[in-house]
Structure 1
Amino acid sequence: MGSPKKNESKGFFSAMTSGFSMFGTAMSRSVNGLLGYEGVEVINPEGGKEDAEEEAQRGRWRQEERDSYWKMMQKYIGSDVTSMVTLPVIIFEPMTMLQKMAELMEYSHLLDQADECEDPYLRLVYASSWAISVYFAYQRTWKPFNPILGETYEMVNHGGISFISEQVSHHPPMSAGHSENEHFTYDCTSKLKTKFLGNSVDVYPVGRTRVVLKRDGVVLDLVPPPTKVHNLIFGRTFVDSPGEMIMTNLTTGDKVVLYFQPCGWFGAGRYEVDGYVYSADEEPKIMMTGKWNEKMSYQPCDMEGEPLPGTELKEVWRVADVPKNDKYQYTHFAHKINSFDTAPKKLLASDSRLRPDRYALEKGDLSKAGTEKHSLEERQRAEKRAREEKGHQFTPRWFDPTDEITATPWGDLEIYRYNGKYTEHRALADTSGEEANANSVEFNPWQYGNVSAE
């Protein structure tokens, strides 16, 4: 096995990529085999008749719908379709992108463990496993609703954390999120960039995710891999995230680089993740291996990336039990996200749970969901016109724009910073006995005025 040490001519990241390529191949034949990862899933990445028939049986598309949609979408090939295309509600799931951000908190206990851990390299094992854990949820092929400008999502009653996210921009679509408990704070600014390729779409996570571990003040920065949604219209739809995930300890310079294997024919390599935790001197310290839909394990290694004698693989994370035959492939935690059980008292009227289109879809009323979705979009356009006529600008409530611009592998990103006002609001609201449910509070994200479509 080649050593993943620094390559003076190619630079650190090129050397790591080369090293991981060899490491990933070896690990998939050795460690993964020992762990029992021999099973494969029959998937044709290009799509085929059998896959198309199976997708139709799921109720996603009827043949005439596929044909009609394909004719409409052909003109957008090569374009960023993040917010420029109106999509049929039949392909949606009853969740918004703001709620999907909150799914990263399902295994937040891993960040608690990272904060409590004294070993700086094992700390990255816990933290990166937390970052990997959400990919089990991300494999869902249903599309979440785009948030309305000013829409929010709140979550409490999970692991002692509080979570708030807000749609801070409509063009381009941008969301900001903040979460914290006694062990960590999490801050994210997200701006998705897409490229429609016909029967697939590439999704580039133009975002910045920072985690601060409170005990030692350690700051972690996460750069996730891009995602590809295959067989959007023809064939069996599935999600793949080939590429590198890099988590850097900005305080010490240590980092972990994990390679997500691409899905090959018959599902070969799908789900597999392999990589190393590196010291600030770019020396491999711990190897990690597993599958993002199952579990992750780790083992100390030598300078050549080989397991240290006398050590063994230890499991650090395993996916929780999930409901069987769930229509939207939701986890138990995803159902909690939609539930008012995780909602705080005096829920904000802008909360995603209260969206009438999302709620109608959750209840199985596709016709009403489509009508409500159209109505919300028209009201959003009307509010924008009214605001522009007055020369006013939208101002986020819980996050402030900054002058900071950060470079990502897929483009520059304007950073929004949590302003602390939600913490103050929640402290006051929690003293109220007022509860919230879908019938008692009307969805109202409008900051300029609750205008109606003309």
Structure 2
Amino acid sequence: MTCAAKVATDSALDEEDYREECELPEEEHTESHAGTSGSGGYKFDTAADKEDIKTQRQAVWVLLKGVGSTLLRDGVNLTKISLPVRVFEPRSFLQRITDNWAYLDLLEIAADTVDPADRLKYLVAFVIGGLRRATSTLKPFNPIIGETAQSVYASGVTVAAEQISHHPPISSWDVRDQHNKFRFYGNGNWVASARGNSIKGQQSGRQACWFASDGATVSWELPPLHLRGIMWGERVLKYSGEIHFTDDLNDLSCVVHIDPQASTSFISSLWRSKKSAKQQDQIRGSLVQGERVLDTVTGCWLTHVEWERGVAGGKVNRLWDVQTSPVRTPQAIPSPLQSDSRFRQDLQFLEKGDQDASQEWKSKLEEVQRHDRRLRKEGLKH
């Protein structure tokens, strides 16, 4: 029996059959470091997480009956298929994107920092800390083209976001300090593909922050992620790769490596594979001005960011700590545009717990969006 047929006819398919029929390998594991286990990453292991995961997996099995081996063997672009509302949270991606900016205090401190090198150190901590906050078992709704979201932080920093493209899905945002000390802006093209028991994705797109103190702009892009345990086993989110920060005006740059290669002796390297020599979840990088190394950053994207020489003349080294750094959440403004995410009927019904009505409205909105896309294509022909 083929994989597609097996999934389509057996609702009680277990994970062993799933792997065997679809020729999926076991998950790979590497040596642990710094309090992590297996291949590291953020573990979704709370009671609430496990309940959400259970509900998601039930919904995914139903989905698999329709797509069969295409999803399992070859993978599928998740931005191009309609998922059931059971796997969603009652927020749009435009609303959820602010989770990445939970340590906004660091961005505000950066704007008040005179030394451009110290400013960049705070910005690095702001971005790395954001990776830790962008963890959720549930998926946000894909924004509809033209959809907006407006909110404000207690400090007065405002957020304006808009969905500017349907396929590829691109979100744009503008975050401003009320005193015009900084402007944080950018766009995110969320790309995600599922294959077997995992999802690989990335919020690609340039992000930048302009600072009024000297007119400098620092830019960067987020690293790729790997979410394991979609269908069975432990659910784990892992980041890896590099983040490049650039301040051209002040000739500053910093490359932060996530899961860097460990420094090993010749003898120990004989006993370690290249993969297992990685320092799971650790970060390491150098702040450089021209050819000169100014400082070195270390830590872990799950727990902390520390600079060897620190800021303010070495008085502070650890700029972000998951245990002590305050988390900031913006609130929706009282009178938003009618295109605001909060007016979407599918989100409203899901928030009330009515999944049937939410699913019905989600299907209606998707059909409207497909119709509008056809009209735009026809318009381009004339």
TM superposition score normalised by structure 1? 0.63
Q: 1:143 aligns with which of 139, 145, 155?
A: 139
1:296 aligns with 2:286: no
Structure 1 residues 251, 384: CA separation in 2 closer, same or farther (over 3 Å shift)? Answer: same
Q: Matched residues in 2 for 1:353 and 1:270: separation?
A: 38
Aligned residues: 328
Change (3 A) 1:74 1:320: farther
Q: Measured at CA, do residues 270 and 373 of structure 1 come closer, stay the same or move farther in structure 2, by a change above 3 Å?
A: farther
How far the C-alpha of 1:134 sits from its partner, in A, is 1.2
> Cα–Cα, structure 1 residues 289 and 108, in superposed 2: closer, same or farther, change >3 Å?
same
Counterpart of 2:338, as a letter, is: A
Equivalent position of 1:185 in the other structure: 183
Residue aligned with 1:158, SS = coil
Contact 2:39 2:280 in 1 (8 A): no
Q: 1-side partners of 2:299 and 2:221: how far apart? A: 19
Give the Cα separation in 2 of the matches to 1:168 and 1:379: 16
C-alpha contact 2:345 2:361 (8 A) present in aligned 1: yes
Write out aligned runs for 1:12-411 (5 A).
38-41=34-37, 57-58=51-52, 60-61=54-55, 65-71=59-65, 72=67, 74-76=69-71, 77-79=73-75, 81-181=77-177, 182-261=180-259, 269-281=279-291, 283-300=292-309, 314-319=317-322, 333=328, 336-337=329-330, 342-386=331-375, 391=379
Alignment match, 1:449: none
TM-score by length of 2: 0.74
- Alpha-carbon distance in structure 1 between the residues aligned to 2:59 and 2:92: 23
Q: CA separation in 2, counterparts of 1:385 and 1:223? A: 32
Give the distance between the partners of 2:112 and 2:40, measured in 1 at CA: 44
Q: Secondary structure at the match of 1:130?
A: helix
* 1:81 Cα offset (Å): 1.1
Task: Give the drift of 1:275.
Answer: 1.9
Task: Supply the distance in 1 between the matched residues of 2:374 and 2:208 (Cα, whole angstroms).
Answer: 35
The structural deviation recorded for 1:378 is: 1.8
Whether contact under 8 Å (2:77, 2:194) holds in the other structure is yes
Indicate conservation of the 8 Å contact 2:209/2:219, yes or no.
yes
Distance 2:56 2:170 in 1: 32
**CA offset digits 1:234-275 (Å, max 9, x no partner):** 22222111111111112122111212128x999x95542222
- Tell me which amino acid in the other structure corresponds to 1:141: T
Q: Partner of 1:101: helix, strand, or coil?
A: helix
8 Å contact from structure 1 (residues 276, 286) kept in 2: yes
- Which amino acid counterpart does residue 318 of structure 1 have in structure 2? D
One-letter identity of the residue aligned with 2:159? F
Match of 2:12 in 1: none
Identity %: 27
- For 2:252 and 2:118, the matched residues in 1 are separated by 11
Extract unaligned runs of 5+ from structure 1. 1-27, 30-37, 302-309, 323-330, 394-454
Offset at residue 380 of structure 1 (A): 1.9
Tell me by how many angstroms 1:232 deviates: 1.8
Shift of 1:374: 1.4
In 2: Cα distance, 1:104 partner to 1:152 partner: 18
Answer whether contact 1:185 1:212 (CA < 8 A) is retained.
Answer: yes
Distance in 1 separating the partners of 2:48 and 2:111? 45
2:297 alignment partner AA: M
Secondary structure, counterpart of 1:163 in structure 2: strand
Q: CA deviation at 1:187?
A: 1.6
Question: Offset of 1:279 from its aligned partner?
Answer: 1.7
Deviations along 1:401-424, one digit per CA (max 9) or x if unpaired, are xxxxxxxxxxxxxxxxxxxxxxxx
Q: Aligned partner of 2:294: which letter?
A: K
User: 2:197 touches 2:231 (CA, 8 Å); kept in 1?
Assistant: yes
Query: How far 1:312 moved relative to its partner?
Result: 8.0
Aligned equivalents of 2:144, 2:53: Cα separation in 1? 27
Residues 133, 73 of structure 1: alpha-carbon distance in 2 compared, 3 angstrom cutoff: farther
Contact map agreement 2:190 2:203 (CA 8 A) in 1:
yes
Please report how far the alpha carbon of residue 185 of structure 1 lies from its aligned counterpart in structure 2 after TM superposition. Answer: 0.7
Alpha-carbon separation, structure 1, partners of 2:48 and 2:148: 36
Give, as a single letter, the amino acid of the residue that structure 2 aligns with 1:293.
Answer: L
